[in-house]
Amino acid sequence: MAKFVLAGRANCPYYAKAELLADYLEKNLPNFRIHKITQHPDNWEHYYNITSDMMTAEMCQIAEENLQTHKEVEQEEEELKSLINPLHIWINRWEDEKFLYVTSQFD
C-alpha cells in the first residue's frame, strides 16, 4: 500500500490542485492512501518555513522536461523490445518417444 502525505498552505492554488489529484488517485487506486495536512498561511511559514518561489512558467518547463524524458525512456524500451527474438518450443509425447520441435521467426 502506498501512503502519501500532502502538506500545504490553505490558500495555495498548487496545494489545491495537488489535493484534487490526490483525492482522485485515492478514489481510483485501491492501494493508494493520502494524508492531508492543511495549514493557515501564517502557521505554514512559522512551522515549516518552506515556501515555493517557483513560477508557473518554470513549472511548465519542468513538466516539458519530464515529458521529454518519458518519451526518451519509452523509445529506449521499444528499441530493447525490438531486439528480442522469441524462440517457440513445443514438447510433445507420442508413444513413449519424446519429440522436440523448435521454431523461430527466422523460418
Domains: count for the chain: 1
Residue 48 lies in a domain: yes
Residue 10 lies in a domain: yes
**pLDDT (tens digit per residue) in 25-79:** 999 999 999 999 998 888 887 777 776 777 778 777 877 887 888 899 999 999 9
Write the burial class of residue 7 (CB in 10 Å: 0-12 exposed, 13-18 middle, 19+ buried): middle
Residue 88 lies in a domain: yes
Distances (CA, A) of 19 to 7, 26, 48, 75, 77: 9, 10, 18, 32, 32
Residue 73 lies in a domain: no
What is the value of pTM for the model shown? 0.51
99: domain range? 2-55+81-104
